[in-house]
Amino acid sequence: ADATERAGALMIDAGIMLVTLIVGTFAIGALAASTGFNDAWNELSAVLWFLFFFILRAFYFTLFEMGRRAATPGKRLMRLRVVAREGGQLTANAVFARNVMRELEVFLPFIVLMGGPGDSPVSGLLMLCLISWLGVFVLMPIFTRDKLRAGDIVAGTWVIRNPQLQLEKDLSLEGTSHDNLYVFSTEQLQAYGEHELQVLEDILRSGSDEIQT
C-alpha cells in the first residue's frame, strides 16, 4: 500500500477515535454533573477521562488488527490489511509491537505539542524537537522502499492492498460461437481431475492460434 492509502486509512480511524472520545467525554461529564461537580468527583472525572483516552489510543488499532481481517475500519474502507513481511502468520506480538511504536511515533509527541510551549527557551527547543520527531516518523512511509513506518520495521509487518476479488466471466455464458469447437469423449472427460480442468480452462481462455489448430 502506498503512503496516500495509509494516510487515508489513518484519517478515517482518527475520525472514529475522535467521535468515540467526544462521546466518552460527554458521558464522563454527565457522570460528574450528576454528582454536583464536587472536588472529589471532578478529580475522579479527570482521571477517568485520561484513562479512557489512553485505552482508546492504545487498544483501538491493536484489537482490530488482531482480528480475522487484520485491519481497522479505516484500513478496511481503503481495502488494506496488515500482514507479516516474511509471509508467515501475523502474530499478536507483532501487532502489539507495531502499535506500541505508534504511541512513541505520533501520540505522545502530539499530546505534548498540544500542551503548547512554555515560557523558557528550553520549552521552545523541546517543541522544535518534537515537531522534527513527528516529521521524521510521519513521513517515513514516503521515503522507505516498501512504504514502512518505524512500527512495521520493528514488528516485521507491512500493510498491503486487499482488493476485492472478482470472478472471471463464465465461458459457458459467452454465447454459441464456440459451440462444438472442442469435443471430448466420455473417457477423456473422466480422465480429468480438478487440476487438469483448471489447466484446460487456462488453455481455452488464452484462445491462441496454436490451440485452434
* Residue with cell string 520549552: 123
Q: Which of 57-66, 132-141, 178-187 has the highest mean pLDDT?
A: 57-66
Q: Which pLDDT belongs to residue 18?
A: 93
Q: What's the pTM value of the predicted model, to 2 decimals?
A: 0.66
Of 69, 66, 93, 92, the residue nearest 81 (C-alpha): 69
Q: Which pLDDT belongs to residue 37?
A: 67
Residue 147 has pLDDT above 70, yes or no: yes
Q: Which pLDDT belongs to residue 20?
A: 95
> The C-alpha cell of 161 is what?
492492498
**Average pLDDT, stretch 103-112?**
82
**Average pLDDT, stretch 30-35?**
80
Q: What angle do CA 196, 197, 203 make, to 5 degrees?
A: 90
Q: What is the Rg, in whole angstroms, of the alpha carbon atoms belonging to the chain?
A: 27
DSSP letter at 85 equals T
Residue 58 has pLDDT above 60, yes or no: yes
Instruction: Provide the percentage of residues in the chain whose pLDDT is more than 70.
Output: 78
Of the listed ranges 24-28, 86-90, 198-202, the least confidently predicted one is 198-202
**Where is 81: in which H helix or E strand?**
strand 80-84
Residue 72 has pLDDT above 60, yes or no: yes
Higher-pLDDT residue of 131 and 213 is: 131
Tell me the average pLDDT of the chain.
80
Q: Which pLDDT belongs to residue 198?
A: 73
How distant, in Å, are the alpha carbons of 11, 121, 145 from that of 104? 18, 24, 22
Higher-pLDDT residue of 41 and 132 is: 132
Residue 179 has pLDDT above 70, yes or no: no
Q: pLDDT confidence of 103, banded at 50, 70, 90? A: confident
